Amino acid sequence: MDKPKVVLGVSGGIAAYKACELLRRFTESGHDVRVVPTASALNFVGAPTWSALSGNPVSTEVWDAVHEVPHVRIGQHADLVIVAPATADLLAKAAHGLADDLLTNTLLTARCPVVFAPAMHTEMWEHPATQENVATLRRRGAVVIEPAVGRLTGVDTGKGRLPDPGEIFEVCRRVLARGGTEPDLEGRHVVVSAGGTREPLDPVRFLGNRSSGKQGYALARTAAARGARVTLVSANATLPDPAGVDVVPVGTAVQLREAVLKAAADADAVVMAAAVADFRPAVYASGKIKKKDGQEPEPVALVRNPDVLAELSAERARPGQVVVGFAAETDDVVANGRAKLARKGCDLLVVNEVGERKTFGSEENEALVLGADGSETQVPHGPKEALADLVWDLVAARLG
Ligand SMILES: Cc1cc2nc3c(=O)[nH]c(=O)nc-3n(C[C@H](O)[C@H](O)[C@H](O)COP(=O)(O)O)c2cc1C
């Protein structure tokens, strides 16, 4: 099989050096990468670096190797174009269809999916001109990854940082896997909860569970690659922030409820993949509970936690909001799943069978997705991203 052809556009931002790491991810995973930098980008990282790392010629202008008509060919033959970093200037040119160098020509001739990863100072990002250009590009079907918040050039911090190259790569991988399908969640806000809550017993102990957060993070990453604005409420997961996703860290079930309800206020869909503890210790000991010689330990009294999935389902923040729950079951998976779906009142319930090397912490998953409309979709064993994509297919169908 031919290697997927990726065009890596690099424009003149300080984060251009991070595109070297992105390039390596592509080449090491079997992609044929043609790097097309702007002239400004070469002030940050030189052409020999791009050429040596990609194994392909590098040019910024349409006037090199004219017999190959590169200003048309490179775009026409690409399976994916990713521009990282995308400067404010490059976004403006792309939004307005300017074509004064090889990268902007390539963007006009490409018919494959296009992803932009903008990076710039917060003022440049927030400027109405940039925001309108981003909206134009999204409306036309491009995936524009929201910049991360953090350290910018020099001592400044704020929104505008290029997300981690590994996470930009994951978005591109998902976009490529969807084979040119339109980003169908563009304009939607989705909320995903992930990880497992921890209910403190004393300053050093908690009641927790074995959820790694991988399924929720796969859902967030996949939704972002399909164009959604994503809020990820993350309970104690230790995974890197997915590119373009707004991550809200929480600890306990009560904190998770508060964060999810707040984000759900304007959400089109809420997917509750987090493992939320049903109970928490009735009393929190402010000092460490000590063992006492010759005495049995005190039993731990528990109280119920709020049922966030039932609450979300019963009191939809918006008409037509789609609510999805997850259920981990150890036996009688279908019957227990159906009963839970009815009890919670959600639209879809993803039922996992939990067991040895199944579900928790694993890279793979298999599930049965039950619909309130009586539908049943069996998802065969495979990557958690594949299950995530199927969940979004079902959500998108319900959003209409
Ligand atoms: C040190 C330095 C860092 C810069 N970093 C950025 C940046 O991160 N994002 C951005 O949009 N522009 C940045 N600029 C401004 C761009 O380089 C400038 O707008 C240029 O015209 C972009 O050209 P291009 O879009 O063709 O690459 C930076 C300029 C300098 C001198």
What's the pTM value of the predicted model, to 2 decimals?
0.91
Ligand 1 atom 7: residue of nearest CA: 13
- Structure-block tokens of residue 83: 């521009």
Strand order across the beta sheet in which 5-10 lies: 32-37, 5-10, 80-86, 114-118, 143-144
Dihedral, CA atoms, 212, 215, 218, 222, nearest 10 degrees?
A: -160
What pLDDT is attached to residue 253?
98
Respond yes or no: is residue 209 known to be catalytic: yes
Tokens describing residue 381:
């064993």
Q: Which residue's alpha carbon is nearest to atom 3 within ligand 1? A: 14
The pLDDT score that the predictor gives to residue 254 is 98
> pLDDT value at position 145?
97
Ligand 1 atom closest to the CA of 93, numbered from 1: 25
Q: What is the pLDDT of residue 141?
A: 93
Cβ–ligand 1 distance for 13 under 6 Å, the answer yes
In angstroms, rounded to a whole number, what is the distance separating the alpha carbons of residues 71 and 87? 20
Q: What is the model's pLDDT at position 144? A: 97
Positions of the chain with pLDDT under 70: 1, 355-362
Q: Kindly state if the Cβ of 60 falls inside 6 Å of ligand 1.
A: no
Tell me if 133 CB under 6 Å of ligand 1: no
| 352 CA to centre of own chain | 21
d(CA 45, CA 55): 16
Q: Give the per-residue pLDDT at 41.
A: 98
Q: Is the CB of 59 under 6 A from ligand 1?
A: no
Distance 19 CA to ligand 1 centre (A): 15
pLDDT of residue 33: 98
